[in-house]
Amino acid sequence: MYTLNASKSTTNTFSYLCAKNISIIALSRKQVSMPATRSISHYDLDAFFVSVECRNNPRLLGKPVIVGGQERGVVACCSYEARKFGVHSAMPMKVAKRLCPQALIVSGDYENYSKESALVTEIIQSKVPVVEKASIDEFYIDLTGMDKFHGCYKFSRELKQTITRYTGLPISFALAANKLVSKVGTNEVKPNGQLEIPFGDEKGFLAPLEVKKLPMIGEKTGLLLNQRGVKFVYTLAQMKLPMLQQLFGKNGTEMWRRANGIDDSPIVQYREQKSISSEETFGSDTANLRFLEAEIVRLTEKVAFDLRSDNRLAGCIAVKIRYGDFVTEVKQRSINYTNADDVLLDEAKKLFRALFTKRMMLRLVGVKLSQLIPGNYQVSLFDDTQEKIKLYQSIDSIKAQYGQSLVRRGSSFF
């Protein structure tokens, strides 16, 4: 904040600030308030799963590599060499193999990827006070004010070198005034790149890019824009806001803001969540097995949806019961990392049947997921089909928009 006293020197001071390209928001007898600018670095581990596999097995370096399931599975990650053939994440494996028959297929080890992600997180947290872990391989870091002491870009570059030195994994970053522009910048310089977009250049940086490179503009939205002659961000930024609102509703406003490089979303500081749970205390004690199993299904669906909404996977599931005399028992089981309803439901039912052996009246049942790790995939990465992934995505989309109670399994009703 700069302060100007209303005196003879005011005019000279004002001219000095203007000469230094300092924007003046308000001039009064007391002070001139200056706008705060942010410095946000976005880091993204390049082809993360593949990079881990190549580091562990150098013979894979420079070759088309696909990490994913078998014939009916999907591509979890692929190397840049494989991408040249049109292979991409979430593509059915049979299509990927047809596009790139010489690709080397690796089944993958999600637990190992989680450990590598945790190591990168630990390195970043040891260096910066505020970090948002957006996914298993993606981070936002708030470096606002660092220029006064060290230099934001210099610090970002040194942090990138530190991560690679300690993990052996390539990582890219971009530094900008907000999360949106820094993320787009990172995507433009991958793999193993670095970039600084100076404050005030956000709109100019985005302008020549294709609209599909803006987050939130998917294939269908991009096609709709292209059909209307909007191929580049520059054109989208010039469109009238009412027209975009008419075409896309509330999303039209956000699309216009993003096309103009405007994003005030905050850094959500990373906190390690230990578990997700849900339980139900009944109005009256019951031993009705059908009702109790229906409750287990309902509670498991709820925690599984919460897990997917938080972009997480669970490695342990527990079921709790409490008898009418307040005696509480819990059983838990380690599982392969997942957030899929069908896998979690199967385990929850097994645990409940093994736990509820006394056939006494119960007053409470609960389901808990723990050993959480980041993971933004809706179902098991390596075993499920593309059809199954689309089913989960559609169900979750309906639940997120209209509430979880709108779509439920029949077995959750009694």
Question: What is the pLDDT at residue 33?
Answer: 36
Catalytic residue among 53, 138, 293, 301: 138
CATH number given to 38-200: 3.30.70.270
- pTM of the full structure: 0.66
What's the confidence (pLDDT) of residue 247? Answer: 86
As a whole number of angstroms, the distance between CA 296 and CA 406 comes to 18
Decide the pairing of beta strands 104-106 and 65-68.
parallel
Q: How many CA atoms lie within 13 A of 33 on its CB side?
A: 4
How far from the centroid of its chain's Cα atoms is residue 269's Cα? 13
Residues of the chain with CATH 3.30.70.270: 38-200
Q: What's the pLDDT at 313?
A: 85
Specify the residue for token string 């990650």. 77
> CATH says 201-271 is which class?
mainly alpha
What integer pLDDT is reported at residue 358 of this predicted model? 84
Query: pLDDT at position 8, please?
Result: 37
Non-local (6+) Cβ contacts of 310 within 8 A are: 273, 276
User: How much is the pLDDT for 249?
Assistant: 87
First and final C-alpha spacing in the chain: 63
Strands of the 171-176 sheet, one edge to the other: 131-135, 138-142, 40-45, 171-176, 194-196
The one-letter amino acid at 361? M
The residues, ordered by sequence, that sit 6+ positions from 410 with a Cβ below 8 Å of its Cβ are: none
User: How many angstroms separate the CA atoms of 200 and 169, rounded?
Assistant: 32
Distances (CA, A) of 322 to 1, 199, 304, 357, 360: 59, 58, 22, 12, 10
Measuring CA to CA, which residue among 294, 291, 341, 334 is closest to residue 316? 334
- Specify the domain boundaries for CATH 1.10.150.20 within the chain: 201-271
Residues in the chain: 414
Give residue 27's pLDDT: 32
Tens-digit pLDDT profile for residues 153-176: 999 999 999 999 999 999 999 999
Tokens at 120, concatenated: 């990168």
C-alpha span between 286 and 289 (Å, rounded): 9
Phi, psi of 360 (to 5 degrees): -90, 170
The boundaries of every CATH 3.30.1490.100 domain in the chain are 275-412
Q: What is the pLDDT of residue 366?
A: 95
Residue 358 near residue 342, CB atoms below 8 Å: no
**What confidence score (pLDDT) does residue 219 get?**
82
Exposed (0-12), middle (13-18) or buried (19+): which is 117, by Cβ within 10 Å?
buried
**Does 275-412 carry CATH code 3.50.50.60?**
no
Q: Is 99 left (phi over 0), alpha (psi -120 to 50) or beta?
A: alpha
Instruction: With H, G, I as helix, E, B as strand and everything else as coil, classify residue 268.
Output: coil
Give pLDDT, residue 383: 54
The three-class DSSP label of residue 309 is helix
Q: CA 123 to CA 116: how far, in whole Å?
A: 11
Residues of the chain with pLDDT under 70: 1-36, 70-72, 270-273, 375-414
Q: Does 138 qualify as catalytic in the annotation?
A: yes
Per-residue pLDDT tens over the stretch 88-103? 987 888 899 999 999 9
Q: Which residues contact 304 (CB under 8 A, 6 or more apart)?
A: 339, 340, 341, 344, 345, 369
pLDDT of residue 281: 87
